[in-house]
């Protein structure tokens, strides 16, 4: 028998409208929106005085990611759980490209059984992209606690990979990420990025760009180490803002020449926002994303003894950059608010308790004497919605409708999930937040539920917080009670040709 739930007397907030209504949930879908439903055997939840919003969609996360001899401390269960406590019900993760597969043993007969990701049942190697996706699905599927999708990292470009890219569509992956930094590891050269953009355009895919100048970074890092500058602030000094500005414009130029759409990830500079404005004023299909840390923190946060907590790439900039990014959100120049969630322990030698067990994972202490060895990444997936509500909506910088657009509806549209996700309409998945706009709390690591030992927003006074969180009609957060479980999250296969906003 299909379960039925009525959420009554709440104020619904969508990207375009604010109105009083009740929501009828049948099974995993929103069945109807109206008033005074009389449905037998339905559970009724009274949301008087509360706001009702679609579950958040975080377009940029990294779970269980190997880096610098360790791994990001949230996996596809712990990170999903933290996301849910913060009101996010869908996350988008990145699939790393596996190294080239070794050849099959001589004489391996057709019809042999699969030996794991990368080996087809008929005894021939699958594509590197398929093997990479299968490997990441094997990590995520049994642990996923909320719904999730994948982007594919294109960190090497060969004729074989070029030929394999279209096959991502049948795997439900319609977004590619390329880098202009991390020389010798992740970076593609401009001509290769141009070719990726053209392939993406032909097959209805969207290319995402990490924009920094890898050549300048390599030179400045070598000089800093040679002169004994090893403290965390030099992570920022060796990745100049101008390199990001230049790389943003270069990426836009390549996309324009390929006649392809482009999505700029984790934008962190005023100049980058200026370049985005330049492109959009000329009608180019270019979109931008930023994250909460780039709105509040600066290079000054890297200078104290605990500066490693703020190490990420690209790095924190200046108050002027903070202000310009806020302006880009307020005016609609920028389309989404992600997190680039990639947490590490600050002190991985000291365990924390997580779900009743002690956990310690090597973290930022690995670079205590050398900033180049500090794992790059921050915890944020659970912070995004509460922080942005208090600091955006609570201060009048954003309307509640803009807030929903940036954190849910726009990502759903850009990444091919709309209208299944990101909205409150009949037929959509019942991913629903009951939001208590009057709740006040002192925020920090205990509220965030990330599997790490610190929080960037420790001690911040917040007003507004999720009270209940539904994933496809299932109540997974009830106050501070976790009702979700590993494996209940679904992989979201997406179709090509998604909307460019």
Helix (H) or strand (E) holding 107: none
Torsion (CA) 251, 257, 258, 259 in degrees, nearest 10? 100
Q: CA neighbours within 13 Å on the CB side: how many for 86?
A: 36
Phi, psi of 13 (to 5 degrees): -120, 120
Residue 500, domain member (yes or no): no
pLDDT tens-digit map of 434-483: 999 999 999 999 899 999 999 999 999 999 999 999 999 999 999 999 99
- Which residues are CB-neighbours of 229 under 8 A, at least 6 positions away? 237
Residue among 474, 470, 476 at smallest CA distance from 3: 474
Q: At what angle do helices 241-258 and 190-202 cross, to 10 degrees?
A: 50
Domain count, the chain: 1
The CA angle 413-419-424, to the nearest 5 degrees, is: 115
Residue 304, domain member (yes or no): yes
Q: How far is CA 110 from CA 116, 122, 266, in A?
A: 16, 5, 46
Determine contact, residues 194/257, Cβ cutoff 8 Å: yes
Looking up residue 144, the CATH number of its domain turns out to be 3.20.20.140
Residue 473, domain member (yes or no): no
Determine contact, residues 437/464, Cβ cutoff 8 Å: yes
Q: Which pair of tokens denotes residue 336? A: 């989404």
Q: How many CB atoms lie within 10 A of CB 459?
A: 8
DSSP annotation string for 11-71? EEE-SS-EEEEEEEEETTEEEEEES----TT-EEEE-TT-EEEEPEEEEEE--S-EETTEE
Residue 20, domain member (yes or no): no
- Which residues are CB-neighbours of 405 under 8 A, at least 6 positions away? 15
Beta-bridge partners for 8: 46
Of how many residues is the chain composed? 501
Residue 481, domain member (yes or no): no
The pLDDT profile of the chain, 501 residues, written as one tens digit per residue, is 689 999 999 999 999 999 999 999 999 999 999 998 988 899 999 999 999 999 999 999 999 999 999 999 999 999 999 999 999 999 999 999 999 867 666 555 443 334 445 444 443 456 999 999 999 999 999 999 999 999 999 999 999 999 999 999 999 999 999 999 999 999 999 999 999 999 999 999 999 999 999 999 999 999 999 999 999 999 999 999 999 999 999 999 999 999 999 999 999 999 999 999 999 999 999 999 999 999 999 999 999 999 999 999 999 999 999 999 999 999 999 999 999 999 999 999 999 999 999 999 999 999 999 999 999 999 999 999 999 999 999 999 999 999 999 999 999 999 999 999 999 999 999 999 999 999 999 999 989 999 999 999 999 999 999 999 999 999 999 999 999 999 999 999 999 999 999
The CA angle 297-415-398, to the nearest 5 degrees, is: 45
What is the Cα–Cα distance from 168 to 182, expressed in whole angstroms? 24
HEC string of 197-259 equals HHHHHHCCCEEEEECCCHHHHHHHHHHHHHCCCCCCHHHHHCCCHHHHHHHHHHHHHHHHHHC
pLDDT tens-digit map of 360-386: 999 999 999 999 999 999 999 999 999
Residue 124, domain member (yes or no): yes
- Which residues are CB-neighbours of 248 under 8 A, at least 6 positions away? 209, 211, 264, 267, 269, 271, 272, 275, 276
- Helix-, strand-, coil-residue percentages of the chain, each rounded to 5: 30, 25, 45
pLDDT tens-digit map of 73-83: 999 999 999 99
Per DSSP bridges, beta strands 66-67 and 56-61 are unpaired
Residue 158, domain member (yes or no): yes
Domain that holds residue 241: 56-421+440-460
Q: At what angle do helices 319-331 and 270-281 cross, to 10 degrees?
A: 30
Over the range 203-237, which residues count as b (16 or more CB within 10 Å of their CB) and which as e?
Answer: bebbbbbbbbbbebbbebbeebeeeeebbbbbbbb
Beta-bridge partners for 206: 175
What is the Cα–Cα distance from 75 to 86, expressed in whole angstroms? 16
Cα 68 → chain centroid: 21
Residue 472, domain member (yes or no): no
Which parts of 81-131 are beta strand (E)? 88-95
- Looking up tokens 């791994």 gives 71
HEC string of 279-312 equals HHHCCCCEEEEECCHHHHCEHHHHCCCCHHHHCC
């Amino acid at each position: 028998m299909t379960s039925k739930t009525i959420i009554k007397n709440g104020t619904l907030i969508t990207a375009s409208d604010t109105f009083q209504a009740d929501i009828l949930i049948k099974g995993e879908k929103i069945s109807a929106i109206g008033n005074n439903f009389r449905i037998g055997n339905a559970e009724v939840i009274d949301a008087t005085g509360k706001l009702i919003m679609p579950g958040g969609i975080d377009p940029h996360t990294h779970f269980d990611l190997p880096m610098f001899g360790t791994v990001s401390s949230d996996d596809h269960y712990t990170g999903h759980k933290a996301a849910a406590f913060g009101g996010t019900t869908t996350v988008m993760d990145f699939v790393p490209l596996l190294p080239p597969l070794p050849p099959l043993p001589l004489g391996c007969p057709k019809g042999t059984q699969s030996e794991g990701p990368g080996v087809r049942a008929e005894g021939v190697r699958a594509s590197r992209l398929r093997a990479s996706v299968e490997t990441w699905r094997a990590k995520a599927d049994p642990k996923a606690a909320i719904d999730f999708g994948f982007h594919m990292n294109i960190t090497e470009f060969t004729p074989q990979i070029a030929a394999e890219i279209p096959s991502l569509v049948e795997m439900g992956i319609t977004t590619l990420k390329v880098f202009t930094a991390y020389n010798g590891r992740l970076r593609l050269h401009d001509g290769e990025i141009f070719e990726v953009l053209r392939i993406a355009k032909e097959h209805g895919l969207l290319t995402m760009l990490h924009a920094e100048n890898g050549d300048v970074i390599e030179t400045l890092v070598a000089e800093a180490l040679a002169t004994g500058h090893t403290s965390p602030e030099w992570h920022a000094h060796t990745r100049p803002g101008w390199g990001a500005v230049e790389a943003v414009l270069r990426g836009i130029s390549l996309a324009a020449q390929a006649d392809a759409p482009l999505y700029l990830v984790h934008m962190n500079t005023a100049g980058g926002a200026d370049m985005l404005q330049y492109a959009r004023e000329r009608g180019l299909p270019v979109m931008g994303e930023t994250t909460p840390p780039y709105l509040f923190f600066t290079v000054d946060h890297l200078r104290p003894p605990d500066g490693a907590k703020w190490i990420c790439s690209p790095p924190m900039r200046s108050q002027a950059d903070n202000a310009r990014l806020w302006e880009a959100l307020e005016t609609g120049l920028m389309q989404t608010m992600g997190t680039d969630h990639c947490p590490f322990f600050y002190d991985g030698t000291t365990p924390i308790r997580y779900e009743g067990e002690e956990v310690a994972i090597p973290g930022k202490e690995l670079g205590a004497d050398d900033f180049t060895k500090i794992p790059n990444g921050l915890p944020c997936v659970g912070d995004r919605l509460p922080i942005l509500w208090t600091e955006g909506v609570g201060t009048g910088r954003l309307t509640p409708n803009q807030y929903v657009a940036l954190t849910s509806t726009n990502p759903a549209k850009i990444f091919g999930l709309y209208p299944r996700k990101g909205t409150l309409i009949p037929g959509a998945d019942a991913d629903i937040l009951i939001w208590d706009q009057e709740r006040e709390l002192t925020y920090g690591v205990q509220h965030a539920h990330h599997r790490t030992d610190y929080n960037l927003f420790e001690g911040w006074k917040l007003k507004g917080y999720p009270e209940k969180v539904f994933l496809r009609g299932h109540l997974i957060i009830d106050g501070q009670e976790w009702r979700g479980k590993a494996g209940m999250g679904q992989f979201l296969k997406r179709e090509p040709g998604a909307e460019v906003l």
